[in-house]
Amino acid sequence: MDIPLISSSVQEEVKRRLAAVEQEHGVKILFCCESGSRAWGFASPDSDYDVRFIYVRPQDWYLSFDVETRKDVIEYPIVDEIDCSGWDLRKALYLFTRTNGALLEWLNSPIRYMERGDLAARLRSLAPQAINDVALCYHYSHMARNNAREHLGKAKVKMKKYFYVLRPLLAIRYIQAGRGIPPVEFEKLMDAVVPTEIKGDIEALLEQKRRTPEFGLGDRVEGIERFVTSEFESHNEQFKGQGRPDILEGKRVREALNEIFRNSVHSSWA
């Protein structure tokens, strides 16, 4: 699979590492994508590659009486700017029932290194019926508030952090406009819901980030900070609290996920 946004050398290295994961851990990788700034479309020239995958183990692993206590993630340290980690299939499906924002972004990433079988396609198809809008807004609100609290409102600002606040705020706007699951790509969010009065400021910042290897401290962008404050004020108390759906609801979705799980395990090791 050729991925124009990723150099051929990086693609080959990712492919090699995925094969090594399968060999070392005795798993099959069903889906692998790029997450983070490269998928969002505002990577700097020196940004890391955030490689994320979903894997499946042999059937007997899931039939073990202590499966609940077994490790369900695979993680590696960053080497040569490649950050590689993944979730077990069972964990991924559980997080799907919780409207996990990171998982939804993986599934809809524009940069996909591997897609085996129909797992990802079936989850993408099921998602519009299964997700909880409030839970997804809660996820994005939490992300935006944490980044704003830590990085904005200072005389000098880490300029890239504006995007880590703007993107989730625009995602909330997208959801509240009734458009469904927000697109992963930042520019698609901009085109859909960004106010005209701050579009120029954001576009200028975006262009600067894409061409600057060390996108460091800079002067505050007052227009963007006013927009951020206004959005937080408009949310008021909407997204505070637990913000998660009850996973005991939605029998049809649970049955669909059980069928997807069984099919993925059986077909991967047939």
pLDDT digits (tens, 9 = 90+) for 187-224: 999 999 999 999 999 998 888 877 776 667 777 888 99
At residue 1, does pLDDT exceed 60?
no
More confident residue, 241 or 86: 86
Mean pLDDT of 62-70: 94
pLDDT band at 153 (very low <50, low <70, confident <90, very high): confident
Q: Count Cβ neighbours within 10 Å for each residue of 109-146 and write b for 16 or more, e otherwise.
A: bbbbbbbbbebbebbeebbeebbbebbbbbbbbebbbe
At residue 243, does pLDDT exceed 70?
no
Q: What's the chain's average pLDDT?
A: 90
